[in-house]
Structure 1
Amino acid sequence: MRTLIVVESQFGNTLEVAEAVAAGLRETGSATVVPVAEAPRTLPDDIDLLLVGGPTHAFSMSRPATREAAKTDGGAGTPTGIREWLDSLPTPLPVPRIATFGTKQGHSRWGGSAAAAAAKAVRQHATVPAENVDFFVTGKSGPLEPGELDRATAWGRELSR
C-alpha cells in the first residue's frame, strides 16, 4: 500500500504525529510525509491512501489569521494550510481511501477539531473519509500528551490493514 500524508504543522506537534503514523504504515507499505506547502495539486494515480492532517485553530482548520497568530506565538506561521490545499483539489478525488487527523488541546468533543473539519471538506469532493482522529497536545504549542506518538504509530498500523 502506498500512502501520501499531507501535513500542516505550526509548532511541530502535528508533524511528529504524521511521522509516527508513517512509521506504522511503513511496517507493511510505503508512506511519504509532505508539508502542505509542498503538497501536489494533482494527486499521483498510484496512491492507495491519502492522509491529511493539521492543527486545530479556533475549533477548525487553520485560516490565514490563525496561522499569523501562531507565528506571533513562536509557530511557523505557514502561508498556506490544509484548508486551502483541500479546496484546490479536483472533484472527485482520485484516491480510494482518505483519512484525516489533527492535533488539539483538550479532550472535549465540543471543542472543534481540524480532523473533523478536514473530513467535512473531503466530503465536498464527493469522497467519504475512512475516519478522522484527534491527537492531543498539553498546550497551545504542545508538547503532545504522553502516549500520543505510540497511539499514532498504532493508528498507522491499523490503517495499513
Structure 2
Amino acid sequence: MTTLVVYESFWGNTETVARAVADGIDGPVEVVDVGKAPTAIPGDVDLLVVGGPTHAFGMTRATTRHDAVDQGGEPSHEETGIREWLAALTTVPGLDVATFDTRAAAVRRLPGSAARGAARTVSHKHLGHVVDSESFYVEGTPGPLLEGEVERARAWGRTLRS
C-alpha cells in the first residue's frame, strides 16, 4: 500500500519535516504540497500523514496565513492550508492518519497545536483513524528547525508503519 504525506509550509521547515517523515516510512510514499493535494484520497493509499505549522495555537487560518506571507513566508499557501484541505477531504474507510506540526520551541509548553487540531478534525469528520500526532520544533517563526529535529522526524516516520 501507499502513504500520502500532505504538508503546508511557509518557510520550508514543515516541508523539510514532511520529507524526513516520508524518508522514514517503508514502502511507496508520495509527498505533496497542500495546494496540490487531492481531496479524494487515491484508493491505494492506506496511510495519510498531514502536517502544517502551528499558528495562533492551532492550524493556520486565512488571517494567520496572510500574516505569515507579510512576514516573508511562501505566498502559495495563503489561500489554502491544511484546515481547508481537511474540510474538503472525503472519507476513506480504513484510512490510518498521522498528523504533525512545526512550532516555535519558545512556546512548546503553551496549549494548542496544529497537529492536535488536525487530528480532531480527522476524528470529528470521520476521515480516518488517527494513529499518532507529533510536534517538531523551530527556533522562531522562520526557523530553522532545532538540531536533531530532522532525524527525529525520520525516526517518527519509521514508527508509523510498525
Q: For this structure pair, what is the TM-score category when the shorter chain's length is used for normalisation?
A: over 0.9
- Letter of the 2:40 partner, please give it: T
**How many residues are paired up?**
158
Q: 1:23-34 to 2 correspondence within 5 Å?
A: 23-25=23-25, 28-34=26-32
In angstroms, what is the RMSD of aligned CA positions? 1.3
Q: 1:74-93 to 2 correspondence within 5 Å?
A: 74-77=72-75, 78=77, 79-90=79-90, 92-93=91-92
Q: How far is 1:132 from its partner?
A: 0.6
Q: 1:138-157 to 2 correspondence within 5 Å?
A: 138-157=139-158
Q: How far is 1:2 from its partner?
A: 1.2
Which residue number corresponds to residue 105 of structure 1?
104
CA contact (8 A) 1:8 1:82 kept: yes
CA contact (8 A) 2:95 2:129 kept: no
- Letter of the 1:74 partner, please give it: G
- Letter of the 2:145 partner, please give it: L
Q: Deviations over 1:47-79 (max 9, x none)?
A: 020000000001100011111100111101312
Which residue number corresponds to residue 95 of structure 2?
96
Equivalent-residue separation in structure 2 for 1:128 and 1:109 (angstroms): 26
Q: 1:1-161 to 2 correspondence within 5 Å?
A: 1-25=1-25, 28-77=26-75, 78=77, 79-90=79-90, 92-106=91-105, 108-126=108-126, 127-161=128-162
% same residue: 49
Taking structure 2 as the reference length, what is the TM-score of the superposition?
0.92
Equivalent-residue separation in structure 2 for 1:158 and 1:123 (angstroms): 21
Equivalent-residue separation in structure 2 for 1:157 and 1:14 (angstroms): 18
Q: Which runs of 5+ in 2 are unaligned?
A: none
Taking structure 1 as the reference length, what is the TM-score of the superposition?
0.93
Bigger CA drift: 124-133 or 103-112?
103-112
Q: How far is 1:95 from its partner?
A: 4.6
Q: How far is 1:94 from its partner?
A: 3.5
- Letter of the 2:65 partner, please give it: R
